[in-house]
Chains A and B, each alone.
Chain A
Amino acid sequence: MAERGTSTQSGAAAPEGPEAAELRAEVARLRGLLVEKDVEMGKVRGRLQQLEERTTRMLGVAARLRRFGPPFARLRAKLRGRR
């Protein structure tokens, strides 16, 4: 619950004039670029997390199957012996 944060910050009064307006616009543009990059990164991060979880699940299954290894190996050996 983010409401537990307590600090607040009041912004300083912005300077007037065309130069300040240009600066503010540039700041907004750069922030926008960062947000866009965050969204792109979010897609990659999300996909990565999905694949990592799937990999973990598959590795878990592989580990369980390995526990059945010897009977399967014996069966395979028998089948080979028949050839």
Chain B
Amino acid sequence: MAAAPRFSILTPVYDTPGPVLRAMLGSVAAQRCGDWELCLVDDASSEPQVAEILAAAERGDPRIRVRRREANGGIVAASNDALEMARGEFVVLLDHDDELHRDALRKVERALAANPEADYVYTDEDKIDEAGRRSAPFFKPDWSPERMRTQMYSCHLSVLRRSLVEQVGGFDAEFEGSQDWDLVLKVTERARQVVHVPEVLYHWRTLAGSAAGGGEAAKPWAFEAGRRAVQAHCERIGLPAVVERDAADPGVYHLEPRLRERPPVSIVIPTGGGSREVRYEQVVLVVNCVRSIVESSTYDEYEIVVVADGSVGEPVLAELGEIAGERLRIVPFEGPFNFSAKIDHGAAHSEGEHLLLLNDDIEVIAPDWIERMVMYSGLERVGAVGARLLWQDGRLQHVGVEFERGLPGHPYRGYAGEFPGYSNNVRIARNCLAVTGACLMTRREVFDELGGFDTRLPVNYNDADYCLKAWSSGRRIVYDPDTTMYHFESSSRSMDVEDWEKRWMREKWLPSADRDPYSNPNLRRGEPRVGAVVRSALRLPRRRSRTHLEVA
């Protein structure tokens, strides 16, 4: 068994209030893991008490080392100085006014022992005020690269393999204020494995002027630096996107597609030619859907493959032809209802490099919806891309699937369209285990490799099953909030699922989908479990001390 790693805790210090600085030092000294060193860099503090406190700490413990800068150089310079001092295998980022949970390093050490290839480990976190009161725990998902591009969610506590940090050049002054986000992006681009410890092991101090307490007003430049860091990351990995900041929330970012190529897309729409009332007008759904695609889409390289039952009347087919012209391909389908069979049939009669599966009761809202989906679908490790779907009254219908005990569910279904979700998870792009087949893009090569939709699931769960197949093959599923569509599924539609379908899913996918890696053991249906929040605030241990690990 390999020896436990040494942790080098990097802490730049600048004019920290005495009690807070002592609390930080105390939280390190209280670690129930022996092999650490604390690399403190005093960035030329003007408050004399800082030097006194640091000197006393250094005298009291040989594991604490202090360097004083002659001139104030800012957080990046001080962090790089601390990195220079580091001798451990892993560096731990700790801000001068925050606190570590006393088990933080022990639990990270345990995670590293179980995952020796891990190059980056992060944990859950919460806020702590000046009086030491804890609140607002942030229960994070396991490693979610798409989320990391639209929100710096891993944040604290971050533990990175030192050799990799040095390989990428340490902290980059170009991204001062968001240097940690930039560093994590660079390290994870090369990391063999990323591990999440779903326990609150870091307490982020909310002081006036700190990013935790003050939002954008506290450090306006930091959010812009974050945008640039993600932009640079997109350029490094070849993601064809421009990064933009959210108008309302400074911590939320959006990727806008800038495709260099426009690969052909086949939009496959199975239909029975049904009609229903939409906005107080009776419409043939497939006609409404195709019209919205043709009239709204800015992407031009697409064909529309309508998989039509025998019940679809000639006038409907003629109207589709008038609307879509040469883009349209009608593929007749015979036989009893089987959604999976219709999808597979349509895919077999299409030619695009990407398949865009669409229910006929969908209506396009975002004109660049195809570009957006291609932007993600074109990434090699992405298996499927889904959208944010709204009912016609604007309420949320679908924002990615969350699994509970092996079965898929729709978090926030029926909530107001503006609802941001827990930690903005409705408003940011992120990974999930599955997205609905009502609007799903996948590359043809992936579809073929996975054998398409499983015809043994004619009605329910065929989309979730497809996504789980993609996920099991090492690919990610992406939810994109900015691909927004109307889904005219009735809000009172029965969600009836047969018992045999549930059994089928559980037998096939448990235990891998027992615990959704993109949720958190402390969340249920997208919201924190009350018990977990109370335990966190009262500093009680988790009821089950299972440390759940997930690989990249």
Contacts and interface: CB of A to CB of B under 8 A. Distances in A.
Interface of A: 1-11, 31, 34-35, 38-39, 41-43, 45-47, 49-50, 53-54, 57-58, 60-61
A6 B273 contact: yes
Q: Name the residue in A3, A39, A54, A58 with the highest tally of chain B Cβ atoms < 10 Å from its Cβ.
A: A3
A4 B395 contact: no
B393 A49 contact: no
A49 B280 contact: no
Interface stretch (B126-134, B377-385, B414-422): B414-422
Interface residues of B, number: 44
Interface stretch (B26-34, B159-167, B220-228, B311-319): B311-319
A25 to B, nearest CB: 14
Interface string B302-326: 0000000001010110000000000
Contacts of B274: 2-8
Nearest to A61: B530
B274 to A, nearest CB: 3
12 contacts: A2-B361, A2-B488, A2-B489, A4-B274, A4-B337, A6-B272, A10-B315, A34-B280, A41-B393, A49-B415, A57-B527, A61-B530
B261 interface: no
Given A10-B315, A46-B417, A53-B525, 5 more contacts: A2-B359, A38-B393, A39-B393, A43-B418, A46-B415
B7 interface: no
Given A4-B274, A34-B280, A45 B395 contact: yes
A47 B419 CA distance: 8
Contact of B395 (A11, A34, A46, A61): A46
A50 B355 CA distance: 35
Contacts of B273: 6, 8
A10 B393 CA distance: 25
A3 B488 CA distance: 11
B498 interface: no
Interface string B273-306: 1111001111011100000000000000000000
A54 B530 CA distance: 10
Q: Name the residue in B271, B393, B488, B489 with the highest tally of chain A Cβ atoms < 10 Å from its Cβ.
A: B393
Contacts of B488: 2
B393 A3 contact: no
Q: Name the residue in A5, A6, A47 with the highest tally of chain B Cβ atoms < 10 Å from its Cβ.
A: A5
Contacts of A60: 530
A57 B282 CA distance: 39
A10 B316 CA distance: 9
Contact of A8 (B313, B419, B527): B313
Nearest to B416: A46
Contacts, number: 101
Contacts of A6: 272-274, 311
B280 A9 contact: no
A11 B418 CA distance: 35
What DSSP secondary structure best describes chain A's contact surface? helix
A35 B280 contact: yes
Interface in B453-483: 459
A10 B530 CA distance: 53
A14 B525 CA distance: 49
B284 A42 contact: no
B339 A1 contact: yes
B285 A50 contact: no
Contacts of A31: 279-281
Interface in B369-402: 391-396
A3 B418 contact: no
B270 A3 contact: yes
Nearest to A28: B281
B531 interface: yes
B395 A42 contact: yes
B360 interface: yes
A47 B284 CA distance: 31
Given A42-B394, A46-B396, A5 B285 contact: yes
B454 to A, nearest CB: 16
A46 B414 contact: yes
A61 B531 CA distance: 8
Contact of B416 (A3, A42, A61): A42
A50 B272 contact: no
Nearest to A5: B274
Nearest to A7: B275
Given A3-B272, A8-B273, A57-B530, A46 B361 contact: no
Q: Name the residue in A7, A11, A39, A58 with the highest tally of chain B Cβ atoms < 10 Å from its Cβ.
A: A7
Contacts of B285: 2-3, 5
A9 B394 contact: no
B423 to A, nearest CB: 16
Contact of B359 (A1, A9, A43, A58): A1
Contacts of B272: 3-6
Nearest to B459: A1
A2 B391 CA distance: 13
Contacts of A57: 527, 530
Nearest to A46: B416
A34 B278 CA distance: 11
A60 B270 CA distance: 42
The 3 closest A-B pairs by CB, nearest first: A5-B274, A46-B416, A42-B393
